Structure 1
Amino acid sequence: MTSSPRPPHSPVVVVMGVSGSGKSTVGGLLAERLGVPYAEADDFHPAANIAKMSAGHPLDDADRAPWLDAIGAWIAQREGKGGVVSCSALRRRYRDHLRQGAPDLFFLHLDGPPELIASRLAARMQHFMPSELLRSQFATLEPLEPDEAGAVVTIEGGPQEIADRALAAVPR
């Protein structure tokens, strides 16, 4: 009896990093290349969170809880099927929360110099996240720890080049 080849593993990937690091752009490109659905974390925010950030106030953990729950539910639905979602996932405890529904979750941290990210954030139009909150995001960021499944990808270069590095980092 012969068996057909097993299809490639489609992981669930969280594209993480501070605002302006390219999570949405790279996440969409990565999902396209992997042939899996893409979800934008900003779409999971309750209206109150968007209003708070738009007013220049950083979110606290109580604000983030329903947002992380909604993203975690999407991730759990994609476990074993694959998917890509953008999410800042700045703290280890947030990443641990997301892993509850998908233990094999892979985090792809888009990283770059604060000056580069600030310049990209300043050039963005029509986004609720003011550039003044970038400093608080860098202060909150806890890099991936050695026991976390993930990789760090530099954001230097254009979107296609970054997506190439992202794709190479994702286990399949």
Structure 2
Amino acid sequence: MEPVDTVALWVLFGLPLLVGIVVGGLQLVFSHADQLLAACALLAGALLTGFAQIASWRERIMSRHRDVDEIDVRALNEAAAHTLASLLASVVAAIAVFILANLDLDCAPLVVHIVACALSGIGAAALAYVVLSLLIVVNLLWDALQNEQREAKRESAKGPR
């Protein structure tokens, strides 16, 4: 594995873990979790739609009667994989926030407060992962778009077959 890959993996997984530990360690509790739950549900739906769009784009590129540059397909495959992983992370965040929204924190015992802090940390870590992953997806999609435009210009310069 290249050094850049290990740094990217550390950022993608280590930073959300750090966010979760800080939120849980500082005993921060999301007080209005029901609003955050709605945001997580919308995010999951948007990610599922985004995956369908990426898959459709990939199929359109693959169905052309020309040699497809491996870079185009690799970038779209990686973007689809990150989108699905983000979808799973947003579902984890939604579950954690759903449980948190249903906890009664008024005059709660210490165990309930500890569970609320842990759920807040899990939700924050999952959402941080989604944000970082979407930054990678945007970059991959931009690269695929640029490669596709270069290939289309090269094909148009060759003329009709």
| TM-score, normalised with respect to structure 1 | 0.24
Higher strand proportion, which one? 1
Larger Rg: 2
| TM-score, normalised with respect to structure 2 | 0.25
